[in-house]
Every structure is written in C-alpha cells, then in structure tokens.
Copies of this chain bind each other. A is one copy, B any other.
Amino acid sequence: MSKNLTTRSEDYSKWYNELVVKADLAENSGVRGCMVIKPYGYAIWEKMQAELDRKFKETGHQNAYFPLFVPKSMFEAEEKNAEGFAKECAIVTHYRLKNDPDKPGKLMVDPNAKLEEELIVRPTSEAIIWSTYKGWVQSYRDLPLLINQWANVVRWEMRTRLFLRTAEFLWQEGHTAHATKSEAIEESEKMMNVYAEFAEGFMAIPVVKGIKTETERFAGAEETYCIEALMQDGKALQAGTSHFLGQNFAKAFDVKFANAEGKQEYVWGTSWGVSTRLMGALVMTHSDDKGLVLPPNLAPIQVVIVPIHKTDEQLAEISVVVNELVSQLQKLNIAVKYDDRTTQKPGFKFNEYELKGVPIRIAVGPKDLENGTFEIARRDTLTKETVSKDGIVAYVSGLLSQIQVDLYNKALDYRNSHITEVNSFDEFKDVLENKGGFVSAHWDGTAATEEKIKDLTKATIRCIPLDGVKEAGTCVFTGDSSSRRVLFAKAY
C-alpha cells in the first residue's frame, strides 16, 4: 500500500496527489474541477468545522444562510469585487430541461426556459449578503451584525488540484457590519487572530500573520489580513484571510444607519474565510513518505489497536484485554479503534494506519499478555516502545498531547529555518531556487516591482508581516528606499 506512494523527494506534487487519494481523503469527480470529499477526509473537515464554529460563537458570531445564486445586477454592484470574480464564475441561464426531439431518451436545455436575468453561482457572498443587510440595518442599535455562513462556493478555475484549488469548495465566510471604522478594523484583526490560533493551536500549523499588498488584496477590500503557512517543499500557502471592506459594500448596496445623533452614515464591513484548502495545508505540513501524519486533534481515529495472534484462542485472550483498554480510552473521549479483522495480516493493517495517519498504534501479542505490556508506535516519529499496562491510559492520553505539541514544534522549526533575509536580488533568486521558503527582503512598495519580481521568479509577496520591525533599507530589485521587509515566496 504505502510502498506504492511516490516519495516527496522524487516528486512532491505527485506525492501529494497520490496521498490525498490513497489515504481516502478525496478524489476527482466526473464533474470538471469538482472533488468528492470522502468520508475519512470529511471526518477531518468536520473536526475543523466544529472547532472553528466554537471559536466563532465564542467571539459573538451567529450562523445564518444566504442564497447560492446572485443575480447578475446584484453581482456587479460592487465593481471591484465583480471584476475580481467575473472571469471565473459559473452562470445559470436556464431553468428547465426537455426531451430532445432528435435523441430519444436524451434531454436538452429548453430554450423557452431562459431566465430573464442570469444567476451567478456565488464565488463569495458579499453581494447577496450586503443586499440583505440593507433591510436589517436602520439604526446604530442594529449594529454590529456578526454573522457567519458555512457554504459551498464556485470559482471556475482552469487548473485544479484536490483541496488546493477546486472549482467548488466548502468554506465558511464571516460577514460583519459595524458602526465605526475602528470597530470594523478591530474585527478584521480579531478574526485573523482567531484563524492563527486555530491553525497553530488546533492544526499544529505555524503561520505568519500579515497584510496583503494592494496587488494581492481581496477584490473590494481596503485591507486584507492573512495567515500564511509554509509547506514542506518550501512553497507558501495562504491559509486564511480577513478583509476590512471599508464602506465599499455599504455604498454599493446603500446600507446606512442612523447614528446616535440621528445622522445617516454608511456601515463599515468585514469579511473573512477559510476553506477546505486547509486540508491541503494539513497534508503538506505534517505528512511523510509513508502517508498522512495527523495531529491528534484532527484524527478521526486517534488510537488504533491491532492484535498479533496466530490462533483464535490467542485472539480471544487479547480481545479481553483490549476491550477493557478500549472502554477506558473512550471514557476520556479518545477516538479508538480495535481492528480485529481476521481477513488481513497485522503488517497490512500497520501500513494502512500509517497511510491514514493514525497518531498512535498499539499492538498486542501473546508475549505482551504474559508480560502485561503493550507495544506503542508513534506515527509521527515512527518509533516504538513497550509500555506496561499499568497506567497505560494516562500514558496514551499524555502521548496524544505530546504528539500534538511535537508536530507543531517540528513544523515551526522547519518554518523558522526557512525564513531567509536577503539583501540582493542574486541572493533572492538563489534562496528561492535552492532553499525555498519565505524570503525576507526590502521592497520599494510599488506594484510594478512586485510584478517584475513575480515574472522573473514566480515569487509573490505573501504578506507584510505584522510583527515586522521598521528597518531602513533598499529594495532588493530597484534599490529604491524601503522602511520594512516583506515576505516573498512561491505559493500554492
């Protein structure tokens, strides 16, 4: 099974594509660019959803649901946003099929069922939501609106890859409305921080918090905050964005409120989202040549127990001990699976759970029964040890926490060792080519330079880090003056 997996050093991209399919996370569908998220992959996404949803509610947000379709006239109301998404949207033009008179048993679009106005399948929901907010906001007392939606969206991407870029994907999109600019900015920053805590604390993925340059900003936003992660191949991945929308959508959809003095003002907005793309980040942050490596927080199966036996009697004896362990682990809400299938050999099972990234594997054989021990294998380090059955439950529970921390630290070490400061364009290209990762460089602040660098190296400015310090310098490309470093990288 895992022996068939291309290794990362052979071909990282192929390794990723194979792993996603072989580990049963997702597969391509019969619909161009759309994926099927398989039960094992979806179980991981559900854990991410549950944790994010908890964090959103904890910060005062409520869920709601808005239409899938956006009428064209509504879609184009905020011009920058419309322009940003116009080239990649799925458009509904008809509402009925009829029998094809020329092809018995086949259907055709009924030309008499053309919509008066075309409907865009939402690529993002600012337009439909702000057109709704107009009816919800009259006075400052109606603000803030703190709303999130879990939904599917469609962007007609030409080149797609499972999780990383698909025509349809699942996400959450927060859309908030505020009485003041500062409150909206605070909200945008708060949600960037929620995402960062989620990525680091729950997914064990270290991220850099920053703001996007104008070129990379969300269409229709005044400022885009982001969290940027680094994959094992040295390429960056945008893991979440939070936008301060200014009054752009309020003006486009005429959303005003009476302030405390009774004066009409436009509302200030934010929007923020993370998507199933995070599944790709998860795979490419932790996994190895044997398969997935899942942080315990995200593992549908946290502990798997495999009996090692030759006879049915041995299996029966092992099962008595294991069933006791299973029920003790379940009491601690540990997701444990006892795989007592007799149709497969232990070696086969070991490979399968390695491929699927189960954090802890426990093996029990007749020797272990005699000695009162279990063999415990860690997926992340591929190490084994023999542990006495006394205190095994506390040991396993502690080990799960330890693995979660170790995975984060390992990824953090990798990330930190792949932020390289450069002071010349030769150095810049050299690091990009031979080492990868984030290149920290001075930049003159112009979109023109950003574009030239991208053309020459494929690297883009991933963000202007929020924790960056003021530092006088000269642009690595033009030599013009600069006051702070930004992070460049090739990116997914």
User: Is the C-beta of A382 less than 8 angstroms from some C-beta in chain B?
Assistant: no
- A131 at interface by CB-CB < 8 Å: yes
CB contacts under 8 Å to B, within A41-74, are 42-43, 45-46, 62-72, 74
A62 closest partner in B (C-beta): B39
A301 to chain B, nearest CB (A): 12
Does B42 contact A65, Cβ atoms closer than 8 Å? yes
Nearest Cβ on chain B to A352's Cβ, whole angstroms: 14
- Inter-subunit contact B65/A37 (CB<8 Å): yes
Interface residues of A in 101-154 (CB under 8 A from B): 105-107, 109, 118-121, 128, 131-132, 135, 141, 147, 151-152, 154
Given contacts A89-B95, A92-B92, contact A67 B35 (CB under 8 A): yes
Chain multiplicity (copies): 2
Which residues of B have CB within 8 Å of A34? Answer: 67-69
Size range of the chain A interface in the assembly = 35 or more
Chain B residues lying within 8 Å of A74, measured Cβ to Cβ, are 30-31
A416 to B37 Cα, complex, angstroms: 44
B109 touches A118 (CB 8 A): yes
The answer to whether B91 touches A95, judged by C-beta atoms less than 8 angstroms apart, is yes
Q: A131's contact among B30, B39, B105, by CB below 8 Å, is which?
A: B30
A36 B64 Cβ-Cβ under 8 A: yes
Q: Are B89 and A96 in contact (CB under 8 A)?
A: yes
Do B91 and A92 touch across chains, with their CB atoms under 8 A apart? yes
Query: Contacts of A87 on B, CB cut-off 8 Å?
Result: 96-98
A151 CA to B65 CA, complexed, in Å: 12
Q: Specify the chain B residue showing the minimal Cβ separation from A129.
A: B36
A216 at interface by CB-CB < 8 Å: no
A14 interface hit (Cβ, 8 Å): no
The answer to whether the Cβ of A93 comes within 8 Å of any Cβ in the partner chain is yes
The distance in angstroms between the C-alpha atoms of A462 and B239, with both chains bound, is 50
User: Which A residues lie at the B interface, using CB under 8 A?
Assistant: 27, 29-31, 34-39, 42-43, 45-46, 62-72, 74-76, 79, 82, 86-98, 105-107, 109, 118-121, 128, 131-132, 135, 141, 147, 151-152, 154, 156, 168, 170, 343
25 residue pairs of the A-B complex, CB under 8 angstroms, read A30-B71, A30-B131, A31-B119, A34-B69, A35-B67, A39-B62, A39-B64, A42-B62, A65-B170, A68-B121, A72-B107, A75-B107, A76-B107, A82-B97, A87-B97, A87-B98, A89-B95, A90-B94, A91-B95, A91-B96, A91-B97, A91-B109, A95-B156, A151-B152, A152-B152
